[in-house]
Structures are given as C-alpha cells and as structure tokens.
Amino acid sequence: MRLPPPTCHIPQLRVHELVEAMQCMPVGVTIIDSALTMRFWNDAFCQLLSFTADIMRPGVTLPELFYFNARRGEFGPGDPEVQVEERIQLSKQFQPHHFVRIRPDGTVLDITGRVIQGEDGEAQGFITIYQDVTLEHRHEQRLLAANRELQLAYDELKRAQIGYAEMEEDRRRYYQLAARDSLTGLFTRYYMEDAAARMIELHEREASERLALLIFDVDHFKSINDACGHLSGDTVLRRVGHLLGQLSRRADVAVRYGGDEFAIFQSGVSDDDCLAFADRFRIAVRELRFDGKLAGRQLTISAGVAEHRVGETMNDLIARADAALYVAKRAGRDCVRKAQ
C-alpha cells in the first residue's frame, strides 16, 4: 500500500513581518496609494534621497516630496512649480516606469515603479524601487571614455603624415603605457617631462608657437586631510582633476604634478590667455559641491602662470610659474598671479 506524499503547510507572512523584511532591504522601497499619499517607505529610501525624519512624517504626500526636491535643486534649473506639476501629472497616470536619475551630489539612482492593481483591475497605487548604481555608472562611463580615447588615438594615427610619424608613434606608445594618474585620470609627471620637452622644442624652432604653463594647488588641503580623512582628500583631488580634464583642450597637457599640485601646459597660448583660463577654472572649483564629511566645504585654489621664453629650460619655466603661485598664496589665496 502506497502512502500519500506528505504535505507541508507554510503559513503566510504577516504584514509586520513583510514590513520588517522590506526595512532590511539594501534598496529603497516606497508604496504610494491612488491619492499619491506615501503609505510605506524604508530607511534605505530616506538615505538614498537624503530625506530627514521631519520630511518623512506620517501622511506625507508625493507632491510634497516633489516640492521639497524642486526647492533644493534636485530637478536641475527651471521653474519649481512647472517641474512639480509635470511630475504630478505623470504620477497620476499610474504607468510602469523605469529611469536613471543623477542627483546633484553625483549619486546615480536606478528607479523602477510598478502599478498596484485591485481585484477590479483599477490602479490602487504603485510600488517603487530605488537602487544606488553610482559605481556601475562610473565604471560604464570610464569604459566609454577609454573606448573614445582609443578611437581618437586610432583616428589620429590613421591621419598621421610622414613628417609627424615619430610624434604619432610616441603618442601611441604613451596610450599603450597608459601614463595616467590612477586617482585623477590626468597625465603623470613622467609623461609631462617628455611631452613638455617636445612642446618647448617646438617653441624653440618656431617662436610664434607660444607656450604657457599654469601651476596651482588646493588651498588648505592639509587641513582637509586632517579634518575629514585621507579618503575625503582623495575625493577632492579626484573632483579637481576631473574638472581640469573637462575644461582643458585636447592639445593641452594636464598633469597631476604631485600631492595636491597640478599643472597644465597650453600650446599656442599666451600668458594672458592662460591667465584667463586659470581664472575661469578657479571659479569652477569654487562651485564644486560635496556631500558626506565634505558637505558645506568650499574649495579654492591658488595659481601661478608663466609663458615660456625662447632659450628657457623646462625647469626654469616651472620655477617661474611656481614662484607666481606663491605670490598668489601670499596675496590671500583663491587667486591667480602671472610670473614676471
């Protein structure tokens, strides 16, 4: 006689057990009803969106959160009233949605929403998942940037003429060696010494090919390391280096010179042009914003500019720009000075 297979009764989860489980999830979770009232949110959601307890009170509505975000600049430039109204109208459609949002602090969020339907098929609200994909986004951007850089190098090599064969070969070799500073993505001092020597040699042969040098460092950088830690110091250097790479021209040689000191060689540029670039960059650095331990801290730089003189060595050029930098320091920092 065969016995029937044993049965296993698994009790359903209680509501409080389900809530506790969602609180433990590493992703943000919200549940919103058909009136756009927040019925549930977990701690991860508040952390990812920087919502404090006084904002996330019982009964808070989605439009209220939209207004709060608009006022603090989460939606970028524009009329907050228009930004909020557009998002309210979209929410009232109760449609599944998926998009990537980049917060002002650089955090990249992957947001997925699904409609909650009643037995009659009518929308009862929706549940939304917020996931921090900042690291994945950065890796993707780095890969894309590396591919673009390699493609540009390849295209340049294809267009190379016989008279520039040696220079193009050097460029290809340096790409292969990846002579880049691992923290900032700028060129290394090793690369600078060879590339700048060639730029000076070109200026020596053709005086009309002007060459200028900008050297700058981060004001009070040691105090940042002491107060916020070396990881925060690395964040500062990384952001400044990235900004320098963004604002410099492709023909420029932007370098992490050492520690918190940076340099950029600009060919075809006078010291006045370089001075103007330095001041634009100084203002851009002041506008950088940080979170975490660096929140509320404003960065400034001091800079020195010098134009290469025919017959001048690279060390002498660097020494003059460095001297101008220290003049800027003595002038109170957060300024640019031109070498004599």
- Note the pLDDT tens digit of each residue in 270-288: 999 999 999 999 999 999 9
Calpha distance 251→75 (Å, rounded): 35
pLDDT tens for each residue of 65-94? 999 999 999 888 999 899 999 999 999 998
pLDDT of 95-125, one tens digit each? 998 999 999 998 999 999 999 988 888 889 9
Q: At what angle do helices 230-247 and 221-228 cross, to 10 degrees?
A: 140
Domain locations in the chain as residue ranges: 15-132, 134-178, 182-338
Amino acid letter, 278: A
Q: Does the pLDDT of residue 183 top 60, yes or no?
A: yes
Give me the residue label for tokens 């050492």. 258
> What is the pLDDT, as a whole number, of residue 6?
55
% of residues, the chain, pLDDT over 70: 89
- Range name among 187-196, 208-217, 244-253, 297-306 with the lowest pLDDT average: 187-196
Residue 292 has pLDDT above 80, yes or no: yes
Number of other CB atoms surrounding residue 56 within 10 Å: 16
- pLDDT (0 to 100) of residue 10: 57
Q: How confident is the model at residue 138, as a pLDDT?
A: 87
- Round to whole Å and give the CA distance between 229 and 68: 32
**Spatial contact of 298 and 286, defined as CB atoms under 8 Å apart:** yes
Just give the CATH number of 15-132: 3.30.450.20
pLDDT at 163 over 50: no
Q: Which fold has domain 182-338?
A: Alpha-Beta Plaits (3.30.70)
Return the SS3 of 51: coil
Residue 1 pLDDT grade (very low, low, confident, very high; cuts 50, 70, 90): very low
Q: 3-state class of 252 per DSSP? A: coil
Q: What is the DSSP string of 85-124?
A: HHHHHHHHT---EEEEEE-TTS-EEEEEEEEEE-TTS-EE
Q: Is the pLDDT of residue 3 over 60?
A: no
- Confidence (pTM): 0.49
